Structures are given as C-alpha cells and as structure tokens.
Structure 1
Amino acid sequence: MPLLVPVLVSVPGPAGAAAAGPVDGLRDSPPAYRTAVGAQPVQGTQRPSGAPRIEPGTYTDTLARGDEKHYAVRLDGKSSAYFSAVAAPRPGSEVADHTDSLKVSLRDADGNACSPGGSTAFHGRGMAYPIADYATRRADGPRTNCQKAGAYYFVVKRAGKTSAPGADRWPVELRFQREPGLTGTPPAQPAPGTWSTATPAPLTGGKKKDAGGGTGFNDAGPIGKGVWQDRIRPGETRFYRVPVDWGQQLSVSVELPGGTLAGGEATVRGQGPVAGSRLVASALGLGVYNPARGPVSDTRFIAYDGKPAAARIATAPVDYGNRYNATAPVSAMRFAGSYYLAVSLHPDAAKYFENGTPITLRVDPAGRPQRGPDYREHTTDFSVSPQQRAAADDGMTTQQVASSSRMRVLGYGSISTGTVLLLALGVWAVAARWRVGGARGQR
C-alpha cells in the first residue's frame, strides 16, 4: 500500500554550494526539546503500588535505560482517554536504532492491558530526536474490563541494552487527554474504497511563505495549506502543526535543495574521513503525529547525495470511524485537530550543509471540512477552530492572531474616534465663523 511511505525523489531546484565538515565541528548545538509551560514534574514508580496519580494535563519525568514507570489514573465509563509519552534525548546523544525504544501501555487495576499499546524506536542511523507514542482507552473498546469507571495505570518503559553507549537519562513528557463520549450511535468504519490510497502530487504554485518550526509539540510552528520555507541545521528536528478537520486528507512533502560536497571528502560520524563518499544514507526524516501525539507515521529517513530530494507522506481522511480500523496509520486519523510534522536533518548531512540549509514544505490538507460527530461536551483538543485556521494560514500562533485582531479593533476604534473629532472640529469651526459673521453684522 503506497500510503505513508516517504520516498526519495529528484525535485526541481537550484543547486547550492555548502562547505563540508565533520559533525563535531558544528558551531552551535541544535536546541533541545521544550516542554509545555506549566508541565508538572512527577516521579513514576517501578511498580503500581505508590504510583503518583495524574489528571488530564501535561507532566515531566526522566527515564534511564531499562526503566518502567507507573502512573495512576482514574477513568470514567463514558469517555475515551489518551496517554502519550515523548522521549527527548538531547541532540547529539548516542542512540541505537531499533534497540533504543519507548513503549507505552494502559493497564487495569489487575494488570491487564487495555489496548495493544504503542512502541516506537529510532530509525535515523544513530541520530537522537524526539520520539513519541500513546496508549488508548476507547469508550466503546472491545475489552470490557477496561470500560468500567475506576483505577488504571499508565505505564512507560524505555527499552535498550543497559551496557550500550548513551545510557544517560532521557527527559520524558507525559500527557493525559480525555475525549468526550458521543450522543447517539458512533459513526461506522469507512467502507473500503471510499478514499484513494495513492500518494497525491505535491502542492505547487503560490509564493513561499515563511514558517518557524519549533523544538517539539508545544512550540510547533503553525502552518496551513500552501508552500512554506524554513531553515534547519544538521542534528536538528523541527516541528510544525497543521489544522486538519473532519473529512480532510493531509499530504506533505519536505524538500532538500541541491548541495555540493566540498573537497570530495566527507567525515562520517564514528568512521572518520571517507574519501569520495557522497551518500548520506539517512539524511532527511519526516514523521506525522495526530492531536493525541500518536504516530500516524514514524519518522523515516531518506538518503541524499547532493541532488534535490524530498520525503513525502499522505494520510487517510480524518474520520471518527477510523479508530475501528486495524491498520495503525489509518486508525490514528481518528479525530480533527492539530496534526504535527517532525522534520529531522541527520548530523552527517553537515558534509553538505555545515551551516544549515533551507527546506521547502508543501502542505495540503485536501478536501472540504465536514461536520464531525456530536460530542457530549465541547473539546478543544479534537476540533479545529477559526482561530487555528487563521493562525495556520498566516504562520502565526493563535496568540499572535488574537493580538492582531485586537490591534485591528484598536485601529478601527482610533479611526472612528479621529473621524468624530474631525467632524466635531469642523462643526466648531463653522459655528465659530457663523458667530463672528453674525457679530460683524450687528455692528
């Protein structure tokens, strides 16, 4: 199935020269993941007994290799719940592909799993970047032991060989989100063949708009439909948020320009000089996450050899019934809201882009927004507001949009006030001339 497969392709674009150099020679280290403002520190326990209780919100903890931590939660019997964990080793940390991983699960009071749980690992040939996954409790899930109100445990595990390099502690961000139940019968799973699984052609045309990627989910730069440009450094991961409404299907392309390998010699981390080596086997990574921070597509990397190249991903249309689909990338497209793009540039790409490189993002949330399901309560996490759309269209945060709106209101108010003052002055001047003229006539 061609859905959700990043591919290496040649794309039109000007070739640009960049100085080569070892990764260790980078002038500045890429910024670390920024946790949410107001996130509460918490210390999970190795066993269920004594586990700290968490409520809907965001928390921070750390994980050593081999740690399995428990957090107590209480769930009602009417709503769905999502528990995500983001592991964020600092850029430049040593990680082992496929071995170093993050595993999450939700268990009932007796230790029974409520869902298959999530597991995500690194795929960037030793590059450290944020990885995330989630565990779920569906209100209409198949396991009756998990539909009751009561005590549950969110479990987060860092897997890997304890003797391997990079055994330092990882910062981890935890998030508990609640999805309200529905009024009436839940929508059914979309029938096969109701949408195309073919990867659409990238969006073209229009002037490039400036985007500002963030370090993670909390400061992700808002972007919407259109062609965007940003800049990324070797070893860096930049996050963007895209509002995707019910019925919309997201298509994304991220492009690297052409680059020149200076001196005909590259320095590959851990291997030293490699004469004439042009290929960076895992240069550009692209991943997509849903509003609950669940992976729609794990971050997968494409190769680069100096020619323009692109990573592309297309998703299923957003539909409530997707949660009943056994295919994980389709199941993840289960609600509207902010979807996240994670773009990574491997440290070894420094042999082409020592000081960073521009990237082009082509973003297309295709399709007319449709009416979503009838939730029992309003939910901001799983919906798209007019303010979010406006922010994405202009590449601004919702706070900037609100501030801009206030300034426009003040501006209109100032214009109105100025107009009234001018009219008043005009009336006063006419009246003054009339009084002077009348006084002269009486002389």
Structure 2
Amino acid sequence: MSTQAGATSGNGAGRGSGRRGRTAARTRKAAALLTAAAAAGAVTALPAGAAEAAPLPAYSFDPSAQRIAGAASSADAKPLAPGGTYRDTLKKDGKLYYRLDLDTSKNTYVSAVAVPKPGGTAAYGDGFRISVQDGSGIECGYQDVNFASGEYVRPLAAYARRIVHPDVSGCQEAGTYYAVVERESDAASTPDDWELELQHVTEPLLTKNGPDKLPESWPSGTPAPLAAEQKKRQGGNGFHDAVSLDKGEWRADIRPGQTLYWRVPVDWGQQLFTTAELGSSDAGDESVGNALALGLANPARGFVDLQTVSYSGDPARTALDPQRPVDHKNRSAYDTGTSGMRFAGWYYVTATLNPEIAEEYGDQPLPLILRVDVTGTKQSGPGYAGDPGIFQVTTDDREAAASGATGAEAAGDSTMAVVAAGGLGLGTVLLVGLGAWTLLARRAAR
C-alpha cells in the first residue's frame, strides 16, 4: 500500500509552516490509508440498509479444482483422474468429452454441477445430460437433470456411472472410456455460459457379490414429528462448503434466487426424512409458483429427488419423498430415487428460493425451517474389498454433523480460516484508519 512518504519532507521556510506541512502530510497519509482500506472492504463498510441490494453469494466452487477444457471430440479428450475435482465452462447447446482410463477393480462415478449465472431464464426441460460411454459410444450409465417447471435457473447436479459386475453385459473391459456432458437449451433460454464443477470418484467392489433383489416391503411411512429445539444453521453456497446437519429442527434465512446447501450423514440401513417450511410474510399475498425447490443428492452428487411448493405469504411446506433405507442392493432398481440411495455417506440437501419472490415480496430473506430426521439402526457395510472412501459414515462425520462444520472445515480446508482472518484484519485497519483520521483532524484544527 502506497503512503506517499516522499511528499511529507516539510521544506517550509519557518517553524509554523513546517508544522502545518507535516500535519497536512500526516492527514493525507491517513486519508490514503483509510481510502485504500475502505476500497478493499467496501462490503464490510456498507451501511446496514445497503445489504438489501447486495448481490447474492456466488456458488462456492472447490478451491482445489483444476481447470480443464472439455473437448468437442472424444479423440481430443483430456483425462479426469480418480479423486480429482475440475472446473470447466459449458456453452449453450455445448457437448464436452473427458477421458477416463478405467480398470476392472472399481466402480466409477463422474458428477457435474452446472452453475448458470443468476437471473437467467429457462424453458421447460432445459438442463443437461451426463453419461459415461465406452469407445463405441455405448452408454454405461447416464443421468438427465433439468429445471423442471421452474422458469428460473439454479445450480443442477447429476452423475453418470460405470459399474463392474458379472451380471452386467457391457462396459466391463479395462480401457478408455469417456465422460460426456451435453447441455440442452430452448432457443428462448438465456444463452449465458454455465460453469461446471466435475468430480471423479471410485467405489471398491465387494469381496463377494450377493443377491440384488430388493425386499418388497420397507418402512415408507413418515416418522412422527421431532420434538426438538429449533437451532440456527445457515446453509453453505455449494457442495464444497455445505453445512453439516444431524436430526433436528434447523432455522436459516434464504433470499430470492439463492441456493443453500446442507449435508447429512446417512449410514447403511438408515433413512433420511427432510421437510422444508417457508415462514409467512406480511409483505403481500400474491401466489408464486414453484417458490421453493427442495432437492437431494447422494454422496457421489447424483440426483435423488426434487420437490417444489408454491408461496402466497402464508407458511408453505414441502418434503422429500420417503426413500428406501440405504442399501447396496438399491442400485438394482430402475427408479432414480431408490437407485440413488446406494451407499452410505454424506447426503446433500439443497433449497432454492424462486427469484420471483423479490418482485412480489421484496428482496428480503425469508425464514426457512428444515426438519431433518435420520431413522433406522446402523447396519454393517456390504463388504467392500478396499477403503470405502467417501462411501461410509465415520465418527468424525457424526461429530461434524453435531457441530455444524462445513465440508471445507471438516476436510481441513484453510480457506475459511484465511477469509476470517482477513476480515478481522480489515476491520482492524478500518478502525485504526478512522482513529488516525479523527486525531489528525483535531491536530490540524488546533
């Protein structure tokens, strides 16, 4: 930071003029310091009312993600390494190829989170498709996701898989495969590019394959409401900093157009039940369709469920569909929800508030209540032939859920600590600058 020290030499002819010159220089120096600090921390220096017009928080991408350029042809595709996270850009009607070098010792999951620019519009069916294909273009697995009936954009997540199993006929050889991400957009939809967050994870095979038939009966009833004290736990801005939850009633505030992320550990044999309720508002009574979108993604970021509810100023509630208990055998189901509950680990709950709410009720946060219940007795795993990695629930995971740690904090990510330290330092600089300005102004007056 420049302090312009060379301008304060004080070459006046008399003692009084020298003192005045030094005082003026100090004043200019303090003003420069304060101006620079205020420019760096404009958000922290805003008056309370200005927060209403502040932009929505951006999606929180994993800071460790590597930049990669998806290819227009499979022949030019760059590899996605197992365990890696990547960033790319997907244009309207774009189709991108990534290379996967796979053996026969693990199952493979490749996920994509598509992040449109806020404020865009979408037509019915707009979204993207992700697939894993072999060298002949045969799809090993795929998933399509879209904005459903909502006319506004929001982050979308989906995954594709390649499973190694003796009962599967295709995609069983070791070799080169491709992850393909293809965007589908209506001509009238916003043409902005979408940012992508890609992740490649693997799952060990079983030491012994058992029967895959699902039981015909399962506990599909919704459990009795929890009698729990409501606690504040604001959601994160992406999968990377999703805020951990355990069973209970949780309060957050959500702005129009905002998407919040939480994560809940669900072990083998357990079920997750989630309800979201928008609090009432006295700012109007106009009805807004698809006002709140409540979504669920599994530990590999695969789509599991999405429910919406309208809002007219009164309390509005929606709930995720009851799903089968987490079981390795669920992957044999054709139903997306059941198939998605295929492994233990962190399940991600998302909530998006329709930006149209701002037009009818003002750009103010609405209160949001999440009621989370995890039922069922923990069971032993399916017998993996290696380290389950993210497909398990550990003691540390349960402690993170109880404390509300974000995914970044639980992983030892230092980003949040740096931001916090920077915010504290900036606040100190502002206070010191204001004090120096006041002191020097008084000296100048004397």
Report the TM range for the smaller structure's normalisation.
0.7 to 0.9
Tell me if 1:240 matches 2:249: no
2:67 to 38, 41, 45: 41
SS at match of 1:94: coil
Shift of 1:400: 5.7
- Which residue of structure 2 lines up, in the alignment, with residue 145 of structure 1? 170
Shift of 1:369: 1.0
SS at match of 2:338: helix
Letter in 1 for 2:402: D
- Provide the rounded CA distance (Å) in 2 between the counterparts of 1:178 and 1:329: 21
Tell me if 1:337 matches 2:345: yes
Contact in 2 for aligned 1:83/1:135 (Cα 8 Å): yes
**Segment of structure 1 superposing worse, 32-41 or 169-178:** 32-41
Letter in 2 for 1:181: L
Letter in 1 for 2:117: R
- Which residue of structure 2 lines up, in the alignment, with residue 192 of structure 1? 216
Percent identity among equivalent residues?
38
- Which residue of structure 2 lines up, in the alignment, with residue 376 of structure 1? 385
Contact in 1 for aligned 2:298/2:348 (Cα 8 Å): yes
Tell me if 1:97 matches 2:101: no
Deviations 1:254-304 (A, max 9, x none): 111111234xxxxxxxxxxxxxx6211111110000001111103x32111
Shift of 1:37: 1.9
Q: Report the TM-score, using the length of structure 2 for normalisation.
A: 0.77
Shift of 1:141: 6.7
After superposition, the Cα gap between the structure-2 partners of 1:344 and 1:401, relative to the gap in structure 1 and judged at 3 Å, is closer
Contact in 2 for aligned 1:76/1:150 (Cα 8 Å): yes
SS at match of 2:140: coil
Contact in 2 for aligned 1:67/1:157 (Cα 8 Å): yes
After superposition, the Cα gap between the structure-2 partners of 1:342 and 1:81, relative to the gap in structure 1 and judged at 3 Å, is same
Contact in 1 for aligned 2:92/2:192 (Cα 8 Å): yes
Name structure 1 gaps, 5 residues minimum: 1-24, 263-276, 404-443
- Which residue of structure 2 lines up, in the alignment, with residue 224 of structure 1? 246
SS at match of 2:300: coil
- Provide the rounded CA distance (Å) in 2 between the counterparts of 1:48 and 1:206: 53
1:106 to 125, 128, 132: 132
SS at match of 2:295: strand
Root-mean-square deviation (CA, aligned residues, Å) is: 1.9
Q: If each structure's helix is expressed as a fraction of its own residues, which one has the higher value?
A: 2
Q: For 1:1-400, what aligned pairs fall within 5 Å after superposition?
A: 27-56=53-82, 57-98=84-125, 100-115=126-141, 117-123=142-148, 125-140=150-165, 142-161=167-186, 163-186=187-210, 188-193=212-217, 195-201=218-224, 203-262=225-284, 278-298=286-306, 300-313=307-320, 314-350=322-358, 351-352=360-361, 354-397=363-406
Contact in 2 for aligned 1:249/1:316 (Cα 8 Å): yes
Contact in 2 for aligned 1:187/1:373 (Cα 8 Å): no
Q: Report the TM-score, using the length of structure 1 for normalisation.
A: 0.77
Deviations 1:383-423 (A, max 9, x none): 011111111122124776799xxxxxxxxxxxxxxxxxxxx
Contact in 2 for aligned 1:387/1:398 (Cα 8 Å): no
Name structure 2 gaps, 5 residues minimum: 1-50, 413-446
Structure number with higher relative contact order (C-alpha < 8 Å, ≥ 6 residues apart) = 1
- Provide the rounded CA distance (Å) in 2 between the counterparts of 1:144 and 1:402: 38
- Which residue of structure 1 lines up, in the alignment, with residue 25 of structure 2? none
- Provide the rounded CA distance (Å) in 2 between the counterparts of 1:120 and 1:393: 32
The alignment of Structure 1 onto Structure 2 pairs a total of residues equal to 359
